[in-house]
Amino acid sequence: MALRRFDLEAGGTDFSFAPETEDKIAFWLGKYPSEKKRSAVIPLLWLAQKDNAGWLSEPAMRAVADRLEMPYIRVYEVATFYTMFRLRPVGRHHIQLCGTTPCMLRGAHDLKEVCRDRIGEPFAITDDARLSWEEVECLGACVNAPMVQINDYYYEDLTPERFASVLDQLRNGVDVAPGTFVDRQRSAPLGGATSLLDAGLFDGSRLAQAHLPNLPEPVTDTAQPAAPARTTLIDVQPGPPPERVETASERVDDLRKIKGIGPKAVTQLQALGIYQFAQIAAWSPADVSRIEAALSGAGRVGREDWIAQARLLVQANKEA
Amino acid sequence: MSNDQFKLNIDGRDIDVPRHYTLMQACEAAGAEIPRFCYHERLSVAGNCRMCLVEWQGAPKPIASCAQTVGEMRPNPDGTAPVIRTQGDYVEKARSGVMEFLLINHPLDCPICDQGGECDLQDQAVAYGRSGSRYDLNKRAVEDKNMGPLVKTIMTRCIQCTRCVRFAAEVAGVEELGMISRGESAEITTYLEHSLTSELSGNVIDLCPVGALTSKPYAYNARPWELRKTTSIDVMDAMGSAIRVDAKGNAVMRILPTVNEEVNEEWLSDKSRFVWDGLARQRLDTPYVRRDGRLSPASWGEAFVAVKDALSGRPEAIGFIAGDLVEVEQAKAGLDLARRLAVQNTDCRPAGAAYGVDGPREQYLLNSSFMAVEEADALILIGCNPRQDAAVWNARIRKAWLWNDLKVHLIGDPVDLTYDYDHLGTGPEGLAALDTLSGASRPMIVVGEDVLLRPDGQAILAAAHAAALNIGAIQDGWAGFGVLHNAAGRVGALDVGFVPGPGGLDTAGMLSGKLDTLVLMGGDELDLSGLGTTKVIYIGHHGDAGAARADIILPCAAYTEMSATYVNTEGRVQMTRAAVEPKGEAREGWAIFRAMSDSLGHTLPYDTADALREGLRAERPHFAGLGFAPAEAGVEALRAPMAGTGTPDLAVPFGARRGDFYLTNPIARASKTMAECSLQHRGLETAVAAE
């Protein structure tokens, strides 16, 4: 990694954010408390870079620092740490060429040669100021290797020829659609799917009883019609069913307010007739073990202290 | 074992340490020596050099002991205390590995490096490193950075410990240093290589464990082992910071801070640290007598003949003024001589001052100690700028503001003090707001000396004192009211009573040309233009304003050349020690007066400085307490109401600090380094003002 320094000459002395960027700045600043607004330094630097023709000039960096009331040196540290902030001018279309292992194995070296041929050395800008390039580390599109990122978009499954034609088109002012350059849907296999082809996989017809080989055979009650066996690793002790409590719908508490109870547990609890905090608050140890058995979560009620939580919520409801 | 103690087994020894200790502190408590580069006890923990690795039995990796809090360690599975080893193959291998990495990119330029001989990296490479290098690739090189006239940079030597960055951000309070880029390209720099603007910037030189940041004025001057080291006291401000004067032959080669927890911790202001080149320039090394309008060198005998002539007139037409740097002994001898000559025109205060004439010494001391600001919960600064007048104390105020939730209020010029404050007003009208600050339980009110030079200075001091009594700044065990002086000699001279005698003139009166003869002891900062035909006997060590106006010059020793007493603004009595000989014919100040008294026929009753001091201690017992700051001992004296005459003049705001921080005394004005700093600082101010 070469030394990264501001191009002070090209940066001039002034920078101002585009008017339409202000909304985005407000969005990012809105995410943090006002006394911690320096947390927004990376998004703001990014926005400044976008407003400054794809590179971060020194005045742009100072504008960010002034907005966030940060010492310049602190912003300077961030701007020089992250190589996604480019401190020198770039072409209108800046190419980030992935040179990490998968892309390298799939021919990134050849793409680099194309760049050298068509543009020049990394960070050189073509005479018409349209193109520049740099090599970057993995962009996370290894399935579609080799690939490049041009400004904000990925151009994938490139060959030297295809890439050269992309560069030529961009250079001639023709926009090129991003995405893959071969016959595939996004990252799907070339020429279409090669596995999971059976339509039955997707129509529900395969929903059948799962049979795990090491589980004991389920005891089927011949008097009852065979229900789909539940496969669970916890031995469920079927206890006496809880008393059912009939409740008016408006008396149903939002049980999820209790930490530990999620949507699934709510459904299960309601199936057991538990609708209100008051019911949980009144659980005896026997109730607890019965409920835990039904929820397949031994010790969960005590660990997450549902009863105490429920009592507080009952209290809160009364006060409200 | 109480709950806040934690049991550890370090190198086979069981030890209890407080839970908040770092493992490094615990190991040191157990007597182990832990090497380190990035860790510094007065800075935040960075944990990036990895030199302090120790073995924690059962841990998968060596532990960076500086970043491991003891209270967060787990006991062994069987419940016994964690077992730490700071020695042994495992630790030695880890440290030698770290050292090898640190040295990979470190140049082997120790023979030309100023840090050589006092370099942490050098010492630790000997102790913990390998005997040779296995690295035969290219080393990286880093461009040197401009950090101003004080700090020289050779950045290839930097090991990225970030001590300097943390110092600037945390202690100095100027976020100007940072580490830019990453990995192998990481570099320490100021923003676009602007100079450091902190008045504490020299401390990064001490902090730098390698030779990356070294002293620019001292570059290539000496090796540490050639230097004669003398611990002493600084006189550039009224703090009396502890210093070490390093001398070679009869030249002061550099000045470094030493640790005095109660005064300067271990920091030193740039003026105190870099003023030493001024000790070798513009020196008065022989007496001079003005003949036919020109000063010409003379012997002491000739000079005393001229002095006798000048001092044999009417006592009412003779005056003595003691300047900013005058030591207690000289002030005492000068005062004794004046009184023997029946001279009542004596003063050690700048023109306009009316304080300190009567009343207890608590009325002109800071009273609360420098340290006490860390216990205070409110600090009210009235017309004072501690960043200039006591730069090192300002760092302590910042520390208290940063960590102890100290609230600072300022009445006066709204300058950047490196911490936030509540600005109550620019002039005496802000005093009215003081009474609303009654919420603090340990408030501290500090009045700048400049305030006392106003015509209404006494009235403001009295008003501030009344407010102090009102809001509880003066209570049992808490003397939170006082004056921050900016001259090292002032408190000592006031302590010996160097103020106008009955019917005597004060400084302004003596400078107005009414006298026949004026004995000027230093006092180069005074406005001498009104002296008219007054004959001036100048006693000083630098050819500055006073010497230029003088008719007789008697050269005396500077603070590095004598063992002398100074009293700092807290009232702490401290002594300098002679590091080098006085220049040429120069003599210690008190000895000049002793000899003068002899030639005038009024021989002073002491033949040695010790005899003088003994008399002084008998007369004023507080001079016996060397190093002691009275602090809350002064509460009773402070409770007495202060006599203020007149009312504060609301129309006149407290002015900006007069003069240039870097050029406040003749030694600093003779220093090239200080001139450069001043120039750069003023250039900076202009640039900011232009924006």
CATH number of the domain bearing residue A39: 1.10.10
Closest to B443 measured CA to CA, from B484, B483, B471, B477: B471
Digit-coded pLDDT (tens) for A195-212 = 888 888 888 777 766 677
Q: Residue B690: its pLDDT value, please?
A: 39
Confidence class for position A239, pLDDT limits 50, 70, 90: low
Phi-psi region for residue B260, left (φ > 0), alpha (ψ -120 to 50) or beta? Answer: beta
Confidence class for position A287, pLDDT limits 50, 70, 90: confident
Q: Say how far apart CA B240 and CA A271 lie, in whole Å.
A: 80
Name every chain B residue with its beta carbon within 8 A of the beta carbon of A72. Answer: 191-192
Calculate how close chain A gets to B109, using CA atoms only, in Å.
24
Q: For chain A, give the number of residues.
A: 320
Residue A86 lies in a domain: no
Mutate to test the interface with B, among A9, A38, A77, A82 (most CBs of B within 10 A): A77
Could B182 and A81 be called an inter-chain contact, meaning their C-beta atoms sit closer than 8 Å?
Answer: yes
Q: Which residues of chain B have pLDDT under 70?
A: 1-2, 656-658, 684-691
Burial (CB < 10 A; 0-12, 13-18, 19+), residue A95, is: buried
Residue A194 lies in a domain: no
Residue A234 above 50 pLDDT? no
Please state the ipTM of this predicted complex: 0.89
Average pLDDT value over all residues in chain A: 85
CATH number of the domain bearing residue A153: 3.40.30.10
Residue type, A121: E
Could B181 and A3 be called an inter-chain contact, meaning their C-beta atoms sit closer than 8 Å?
Answer: yes
What is the arithmetic mean of pLDDT over A81-99?
94
Confidence class for position A224, pLDDT limits 50, 70, 90: low
Q: Are residues A132 and A155 in the same domain?
A: yes
C-beta separation of A111 from A161 below 8 A: no
Residue A294 lies in a domain: yes
Q: Residue A240: its pLDDT value, please?
A: 55
What one-character-per-residue DSSP string does B106-133 give?
A: S-S-GGG-TTTTS-HHHHHHHHHS-SS-
CA closest to A7 among chain B residues: B192
Inter-axis angle of helices A72-81 and A41-51, nearest 10: 80
Could B184 and A76 be called an inter-chain contact, meaning their C-beta atoms sit closer than 8 Å?
Answer: no
Q: Cα torsion for B124, B127, B131, B136, to the nearest 10°?
A: -20
Could A73 and B190 be called an inter-chain contact, meaning their C-beta atoms sit closer than 8 Å?
Answer: yes
Q: Among the three residues A81, A108, A135, which one is the final residue of a domain in this structure?
A: A81
Mutate to test the interface with B, among A38, A73, A85 (most CBs of B within 10 A): A73
Q: Which long-range CB contacts under 8 A does A24-27 form with residues at least 24 apart?
A: A25/A67
Q: Are residues A99 and A175 in the same domain?
A: yes
Whole-structure pTM value: 0.84
Domain carrying residue A150: 93-180
Residue A210 lies in a domain: no
Q: Are residues A230 and A166 in the same domain?
A: no
Residue A207 lies in a domain: no
Could B180 and A3 be called an inter-chain contact, meaning their C-beta atoms sit closer than 8 Å?
Answer: no
Residue A122 above 70 pLDDT? yes
Could B178 and A4 be called an inter-chain contact, meaning their C-beta atoms sit closer than 8 Å?
Answer: no
Q: Among the three residues A60, A81, A102, which one is the final residue of a domain in this structure?
A: A81
Residue A216 lies in a domain: no
Q: Residue A244: its pLDDT value, please?
A: 52
Mutate to test the interface with A, among B140, B165, B191 (most CBs of A within 10 A): B191
Closest to B326 measured CA to CA, from B621, B532, B523, B77: B523
Q: Are residues A72 and A32 in the same domain?
A: yes
Q: Residue A271: its pLDDT value, please?
A: 79
Residue type, B37: F
Q: Among the three residues A81, A105, A127, which one is the final residue of a domain in this structure?
A: A81
Digit-coded pLDDT (tens) for B213-242 = 999 999 999 999 999 999 999 999 999 999
CA closest to A2 among chain B residues: B185
Residue A105 above 70 pLDDT? yes
Q: Are residues A64 and A128 in the same domain?
A: no
Give the phi and the psi of residue A210 in degrees, each rounded to 5. -85, 140
Residue A25 lies in a domain: yes
Name every chain A residue with its beta carbon within 8 A of the beta carbon of B185. Answer: 1-4
Residue A155 lies in a domain: yes
Residue A22 β-bridge partners: none
CA dihedral sign, ordered B71, B77, B78, B82: negative
Take residue B130 and report the two structure tokens written for it. Answer: 């390998």
Q: Residue A241: its pLDDT value, please?
A: 52
Calculate how close chain A gets to B181, using CA atoms only, in Å.
4
C-beta separation of A164 from A114 below 8 A: yes
Q: Are residues A25 and A67 in the same domain?
A: yes
Q: Cα torsion for A47, A51, A55, A60, to the nearest 10°?
A: -80
What one-character-per-residue DSSP string does B548-577 give?
A: HH-SEEEEB--TTSS--EEE-TT--EEE--
Q: Higher model confidence: residue A251 or residue B280? A: B280
Q: Are residues A154 and A244 in the same domain?
A: no
Q: Residue A55: its pLDDT value, please?
A: 94
Count the domains in chain A.
3
Q: Residue A193: its pLDDT value, please?
A: 82
Could B184 and A1 be called an inter-chain contact, meaning their C-beta atoms sit closer than 8 Å?
Answer: yes
**Which region among A158-172, A232-246, B363-377, B536-550 has the lowest average model confidence (pLDDT)?**
A232-246
Write the CB contacts of B303 (distance below 8 Å, at least 6 apart in sequence): B287, B288, B289, B552, B553, B554
Confidence class for position A232, pLDDT limits 50, 70, 90: very low
Q: Are residues A293 and A314 in the same domain?
A: yes
The partner residue sitting opposite B176, judged by closest CB among A4, A73, A81, is: A73
Could B181 and A76 be called an inter-chain contact, meaning their C-beta atoms sit closer than 8 Å?
Answer: no
Cα angle vertex B33, ends B30, B38, to 5°?
120
User: How many interchain CB pairs under 8 A, A with B?
Assistant: 39
